[in-house]
Amino acid sequence: MEQSIYRSHILVCGGTGCVSSGCKEVQEALKDELKEKDLRDEVKIVETGCHGFCEKGPIMVMYPEGVFYCEVTPEDMEELVEEHILKGRTVERLLFTEPTSDDTIPSYTDIDFYSKQQRVVLSNCGKIDPEEIEEYIAKDGYEAVGRVLTNMEPQEVIDEVKDAGLRGRGGGGFPTGLKWQFAADEDSDKKYVICNADEGDPGAFMDRSLLEGDPHRIIEGMIIAGYAMGADEGYVYVRAEYPLAIDRLQKAIDQAEEYGLLGENLFDSGFDFKLQIKKGAGAFVCGEETALMASIEGKRGMPRPRPPFPAQKGLFGKPSNINNVESFANVPYIMREGADAYNSIGTEGSKGTKVFALTGNINNTGLAEVPMGITIEEIIYDIGGGITEGKDFKAVQIGGPSGGCLTQEHLDLPIDYDSLIEAGAMMGSGGLVVMDEDTCMVDVARFFLDFTQSESCGKCTPCREGTKRMLEILEKITSGEGEEGDIAQLERLAENIKSTSLCGLGQTAPNPVLSTLEYFRDEYEAHIYEDNCPAGVCEELTGDYYVIDEDTCIGCTACVDVCPVDVISGEQGEAHVIDEEGCITCGACAETCPVDAISQA
């Protein structure tokens, strides 16, 4: 097929976030526009994986200039093609505005969100078309596996990964090289490599973005792992909730087979490796490795006691090794650039980079890859652009339902596996949910317990019954019926569940309660002893109407206009009044008020 030389490439993000905000329609409009202006031979549209900046989707990057347009709509395309492509002028109004300075930034690389990241694992995400294997190969893809299979002994590969200091990115942080060693040391005619892509932590989506944006990187990492431990078959266990990721990964597997990168006798080394996808069926506990293997075997996804460890007796009773998506994605870089290049990034005990999913009350939600050891402050303020609506930072929940929350006093804490554990949180899969001053921490704890309780598989008693009892107490407190002794009871249950549960789900389930109790005990006490929810979230503990402070009100009528039930009265320039009878406590008025004169009674 003849390849045209294009003068411009337009990269349109095709990640799930941007699909939801309408990138498909934008692409269609762009195509039509290019056709109309007869530019199809000059300008190429490339649909890429996630750019990570989901908040601002749909996202579009124009090359060779590297101009970054965000929140584009199909209606913008006419102007964009006319101005940018034909006349060479940047369309100001579609540029990104830095929330901290209000400056508009034209270039991709100058936006704080990107310039402060270090992209190793995500280096191709948003830059290449994930459905074209050639694009991955052009970015040095499959070079590492070629070198490994033709020049290295399996033990050398394991030693390299050990030297790199890679630790499991799924949460636990167990040294990956050591895990491979265990599986390699087992003598067996059959072994399995499994990729855990059952990303269930609410607030984490880095694995999905990797699978959608750079699926070949995972495949390459898995082949290398297979070679290192002598496994000739691999499974990728993906959540069924990620249809686009499954689709792109399947295409990538098919292409790799076609190119002889999966199958028999790879690179003439005599090594065979085949890979298949297993779709999950919706059970959070299947992120636990023994439960995940039970699920692949067609059983209920329940964990089992260890030993025997999966490295000895895993899938179908054979030695197996399970790593997370992001862990595998690190492997090609390590083998290509060498352990020394890799372990020069990060801190003493935590090497390399980590991808974090920034969500919650933060300006720049999205995916950010940073070197280990960066502080929480740098992530939230420099990359994340600070708290939405200029509110105050209250806490950040790290590590999903297994993690804990950190506060103002931890802002300068370097993020690595060990310092997080010390502070009572954990890396988990890397979800960072930022909460502002209006968040009730008791309600957050209740939210997480509600989640773990409903996802508990029910096999062991401490987790099944214990989380239920804890949830009941939290519900009691948030509904205003808390009593003396509740906090002590929560703490007692938490310690028991942590020390006696069978698997990681139960062992970590009490963490959100324990860490909120440690840092926000006064909020629990206010709920219990003062019948008050300081953040104004728990309905039973807040007034059932809003009032306007007469002295502060400037009479701007903004609240009158937004009130959906028209119960605010008052003339321009005079203090307004809310009719408490009709107020439905929707809070719209308080949000609109420019001088914060409105509060809940």
Partner 1 sequence: MACQCGNEEQNREEFLAPLRELLEDYESKEKYLIPILQDAQEEYGYLPKDVLREISGFLNLSFSQVYGVATFYSQFHLEPRGENIIRVCMGTACHVRGGEKILEKIKDELGIEDGGTTDDLHFTLESVACIGACGLAPVIMVNDDTHGRLTPEQVPEIIEEYK
Rule CB under 8 A: which residues touch partner 1?
16-17, 19-21, 53-55, 57, 199-205, 208, 240-243, 279-284, 295-301, 316, 357, 359-361, 365-366, 397, 400, 431, 433, 435, 439, 444, 447-448, 451, 455, 457, 564, 586
Amino acid at 394: K
What is the smallest separation between the CB atom of 496 and partner 1, expressed in angstroms?
A: 25
What is the smallest separation between the CB atom of 558 and partner 1, expressed in angstroms?
A: 17
Distances (CA, A) of 405 to 427, 483, 516: 11, 24, 7
Alpha helices in 139-266 (DSSP H): 143-151, 154-164, 176-185, 206-213, 215-229, 243-258
User: Between residues 229 and 357, which has the closer beta carbon with respect to partner 1?
Assistant: 357
Three-class secondary structure of residue 215 per DSSP: helix
What is the smallest separation between the CB atom of 240 and partner 1, expressed in angstroms?
A: 6
What percent of the residues of the chain are helix, what percent strand, and what percent coil, each to the nearest 5?
45, 15, 40
User: Between residues 301 and 319, which has the closer beta carbon with respect to partner 1?
Assistant: 301
Give 299's contacts (C-beta < 8 A, 6+ positions apart): none
User: Between residues 220 and 289, which has the closer beta carbon with respect to partner 1?
Assistant: 289
User: Between residues 66 and 282, which has the closer beta carbon with respect to partner 1?
Assistant: 282
User: Between residues 218 and 283, which has the closer beta carbon with respect to partner 1?
Assistant: 283
β-partners of residue 276 are 235
Beta strands in 313-352 (DSSP E): 320-324
What is the smallest separation between the CB atom of 71 and partner 1, expressed in angstroms?
A: 11
Please give the Cα distance from 205 to 145 (Å, whole number): 27
CB-CB contact of 285 with 303 (8 Å): yes
What is the smallest separation between the CB atom of 202 and partner 1, expressed in angstroms?
A: 4
User: Between residues 86 and 281, which has the closer beta carbon with respect to partner 1?
Assistant: 281
C-alpha closest to that of 252 among 283, 215, 218 = 215
Give 133's contacts (C-beta < 8 A, 6+ positions apart): 141, 216, 252, 255, 256, 259
User: Between residues 242 and 381, which has the closer beta carbon with respect to partner 1?
Assistant: 242
User: Between residues 54 and 225, which has the closer beta carbon with respect to partner 1?
Assistant: 54
CB-CB contact of 567 with 578 (8 Å): yes
What is the smallest separation between the CB atom of 81 and partner 1, expressed in angstroms?
A: 27
Please compute Rg for the chain using Cα positions.
26
Measured distance between the N- and C-terminal CA atoms of the chain, rounded to whole angstroms: 71
User: Between residues 55 and 382, which has the closer beta carbon with respect to partner 1?
Assistant: 55
Q: Judging by DSSP bridges, how do beta strands 271-279 and 233-238 pair with one another?
A: parallel
What is the smallest separation between the CB atom of 119 and partner 1, expressed in angstroms?
A: 18
CB-CB contact of 232 with 189 (8 Å): no
What is the smallest separation between the CB atom of 158 and partner 1, expressed in angstroms?
A: 29
User: Between residues 280 and 466, which has the closer beta carbon with respect to partner 1?
Assistant: 280
Helix axis angle, 511-519 to 486-500, nearest 10°: 140
CB-CB contact of 85 with 33 (8 Å): no
What is the smallest separation between the CB atom of 134 and partner 1, expressed in angstroms?
A: 28
User: Between residues 262 and 296, which has the closer beta carbon with respect to partner 1?
Assistant: 296
Q: Which tokens belong to 402?
A: 């297994």
User: Between residues 260 and 282, which has the closer beta carbon with respect to partner 1?
Assistant: 282
Residue with tokens 């349109």: 12
What is the smallest separation between the CB atom of 22 and partner 1, expressed in angstroms?
A: 10
What is the smallest separation between the CB atom of 360 and partner 1, expressed in angstroms?
A: 5
Please give the Cα distance from 444 to 446 (Å, whole number): 5
Q: How many CA atoms lie within 13 A of 289 on its CB side?
A: 25
Q: Does the N-terminal peptide bond of residue 64 adopt cis geometry, omega within 30 degrees of 0?
A: yes
Amino acid at 472: E
User: Between residues 204 and 228, which has the closer beta carbon with respect to partner 1?
Assistant: 204
What is the smallest separation between the CB atom of 99 and partner 1, expressed in angstroms?
A: 15
Give ∠ CA 27-29-33 in degrees, rounded to 5.
115
Please give the Cα distance from 464 to 23 (Å, whole number): 43
To the nearest 10°, the Cα dihedral for 302, 307, 313, 319? 110
What is the smallest separation between the CB atom of 204 and partner 1, expressed in angstroms?
A: 8
Q: Is the dihedral of CA 565, 570, 576, 581 positive or negative?
A: negative
